[in-house]
Amino acid sequence: MIAIQEAYAHQGVQLVAINSNNVYLSPADTFPEMVQRAQEKRFNFPYLKDEDGSVADAFGAISTPTSLCWTAGACCDTMGG
């Protein structure tokens, strides 16, 4: 994702990563662990926590990773869950 953001930022592309994993099932996905991961990997895009899974539910994401693409405000493609 870092390379994709870097390559397409000049075209107005903005990637956003949203972690909706349940921390009880995936302890490495707590918010402090996410912050550490983002710093270590030098993420050049926002990395957000979906605490209650409502964002994943809203977009029908049932597995990770799931990729969504928007064009002119409309979701046009889904890959993954």
pLDDT per residue as tens digits for the range 16-68:
999 999 999 999 999 999 999 999 999 999 999 999 999 999 888 888 788 87
pTM of the model: 0.83
Map tokens 């990563």 to a residue. 17
7 occurs within a structural domain:
yes
- DSSP assignment of 8-50 equals HGGGT----EEE---TTT-GGGSHHHHHHHHHHHT-SS-EEE-
Domain containing 55 equals 2-67
Give the residue among 18, 13, 1 at the shortest CA–CA distance from 57.
18
23 occurs within a structural domain:
yes
Domain count, the chain: 1
45 occurs within a structural domain:
yes
CA 78 to chain centre: 13
The answer, yes or no, to whether the previous bond of 65 is cis (omega within 30 of 0) is yes
